[in-house]
Amino acid sequence: MTEYSTDEKMILVQYAIKKFEDEETVIERLKSILSDKDIQRTIDTLIGTQRVRRIGPEILQNNESHTEIPEIPSNLASIIESL
Domains of the chain: 6-81 (1.10.10)
Confidence band for 29, pLDDT divided at 50, 70 and 90: very high
Confidence band for 13, pLDDT divided at 50, 70 and 90: very high
- C-alpha dist (Å) from residue 28 to 21, 24, 70, 74: 12, 6, 22, 23
| pLDDT above 80 (res 1) | no
- C-alpha dist (Å) from residue 29 to 43, 57, 67: 14, 19, 24
Q: Among 56, 28, 57, 1, which residue's Cα sits nearest to residue 13?
A: 28
The 10s digit of each residue's pLDDT in 30-66 is: 999 999 999 999 999 999 999 999 998 899 999 988 8
For residue 10, the number of C-alpha atoms closer than 13 Å in the C-beta half-sphere is 17
Is the separation of the CB atoms in 49 and 6 below 8 Å? no
Average pLDDT, the chain: 93
Give pLDDT, residue 18.
95
